[in-house]
Amino acid sequence: MRDSLHLGTALCVAAILAANTGAAEPGRPVALTLNPQTQTYDFETAAVSGSIRPDGAYHGVSRFVHKATGTQVIDARYSALNLFRLFSVNLGLGNPRVWSREIKATDTSVEIFWAQTDAHQGTITARYEVREPGHVDLTLTLKSLGTYSGYEILLPNYFDKSMVPHLYLKQRAIGDTPPEIDLVVPTVNDVFRGCSLVFPRDAHTARFPVDGRWNRSEYGMDVAPFFPVRHYGHPFMFVTDRDKTLAAVMMMQRDDCSAISSRYYSENEEDRATTYTAMDFLVFGQDLSPGDERTARVRLSLTDLDADMSQPLQLYQSFATETDAAATE
């Protein structure tokens, strides 16, 4: 398929820039400006500045800067909200990073469209939008043209190696008592050294990493060792700076989040599995038939932190309320 890159002209004029410097209305869409040198769509809100890259392997949010401190949380080599591998039971369905795509832009959104391929019988649309005071929203729309069991999209986020991963995990349930939920930093352990950890939604999605999908190497894909451990407590994750004053938070709805994956963390670089901090969503985890359509919404936010690190959970709760309300409209 032929690439169609609709870049247009620069979209942000002086009046819009002036408006962006004023008081920020929460949830207000933010204008995007095409940078002809980098071929990225740049943005600025009250709290953050950044860039969305629609082309190349590392499409997605390539720059996400906390304006108050100047901290760039994304590893400069990679991106966040990046579509990587596609899976079904015992199947590897290819890699959107290397596929042809169509790109369309408006004054407040960038949309990437992938048509079906020999490897993947379905189409995917990724729509990126920025909102005040510091959110990037990604809407993923899948239209299935095939029959797939346990279909997933791997959505990685590559952060600077200084950032520390956090997520909420369920304790073991005993009797009828609901399980407690712990805030956890996944740290290095010889039991899983060299592996990536998968925190599934439930016992059904816990089977996916070991059903054969991660052992398929068709279409030039490298095989990575991903293994399931404890179930996640909430469908969101976050990374903090070492001083725990700033966090980048990624969130979804539970029904659309089949699992969270994380590289383990260590202050000792020799113990690290990677030269970056990565946390991934596995999206959908559902059975599909021809004609089925699924939509998932993902949000990436930057926030300051208090001593209790309460803001990430508050951001997720607000997001869940917002998306629940939108679904009933």
pLDDT in tens, 82-139: 999 999 999 999 999 999 999 999 999 999 999 999 999 999 999 999 999 999 999 9
What helix, strand, coil percent values describe the chain, rounded to 5?
Answer: 15, 45, 45
Query: What percentage of the chain has pLDDT greater than the value 70?
Result: 91
Under a CB-based contact definition with an 8 Å cutoff, are residues 296 and 252 in contact?
A: yes
pLDDT band with cut points at 50, 70 and 90 for residue 222: low
Q: Predicted confidence band at 17 (pLDDT cuts at 50, 70, 90)?
A: very low
| Span 150-171, average pLDDT | 97
Predicted local confidence at residue 196, as pLDDT: 87
Residue 80 has pLDDT above 80, yes or no: yes
Quote the pLDDT of residue 199: 97
Please report the pLDDT score of residue 192 as a whole number.
Answer: 85
Mean pLDDT in residue range 54-80: 97
Sheet holding 277-288, edge to edge: 91-92, 86-88, 148-159, 277-288, 257-262, 196-200, 226-228
| The predicted structure's pLDDT at residue 216 | 80
Amino acid residing at 70: G
8 A C-beta contact, residue 303 and residue 315? yes
pLDDT at 176: 81
Please give the pLDDT value at position 158: 98
pLDDT at 50 over 70: yes
Query: H helices of the chain, where?
Result: 14-20, 311-328
Q: Are 124 and 141 in contact (CB under 8 A)?
A: yes
Q: What is the DSSP letter of 172?
A: P
Asked if omega into 29 is within 30° of 0 (cis), the reply is no
Q: Can you read off the two tokens belonging to residue 241?
A: 């700076």
Q: Do the Cβ atoms of 140 and 125 come closer than 8 Å? A: yes
User: Are the C-beta atoms of 152 and 283 separated by less than 8 Å?
Assistant: yes
For CA atoms 316, 123, 96, 43, give the dihedral sign: negative
Give the rounded percent of residues in the chain with a pLDDT score beyond 90: 77
- Other beta carbons within 10 angstroms of residue 3's beta carbon come to 10
Distance between the two ends of the chain, CA-based, in angstroms? 37
19-28, 33-42, 123-132: the lowest-pLDDT one? 19-28
Q: Say if residue 20's pLDDT is above 50.
A: no
pLDDT reported for residue 190: 86
Look at the alpha carbons of 271, 274, 278, 279 in this order and tell me if their dihedral is positive or negative. negative
Helix, strand, or coil (residue 60): strand
For residue 316, give the 3-state DSSP assignment.
helix
What is 52-115 written as a DSSP string? EE-SSTT-EEEEEEETTTTEE-B-TTS-BS----EEETTEE---GGGS--EEEE-SSEEEEEE-
Instruction: Name the pLDDT band for 329 (thresholds 50, 70, 90).
Output: low
Instruction: Say yes or no: domain 4-328 is CATH 2.60.120.10.
Output: no
Candidates 238, 256, 260; CA nearest to 247 is 238
Tens of pLDDT, residues 235-269: 999 999 999 999 999 999 999 999 999 999 998 88
Residue 302 has pLDDT above 60, yes or no: yes
CA–CA separation, 114 and 221 (whole Å): 18
Q: Dihedral of CA 233/237/240/246: which sign?
A: negative
DSSP state for residue 164 in the 8-state scheme? E
Tokens of 179: 């399980």
Report, as an integer, the average pLDDT of 153-162: 97
Q: Residue 34: is its pLDDT beyond 70?
A: yes
CB count in 10 Å sphere of residue 270: 6
Q: What are the φ and ψ backbone dihedral angles of 43, each rounded to 5 degrees? A: -145, 160
Measured between alpha carbons, how far is 83 from 281 in angstroms, rounded to an integer?
10
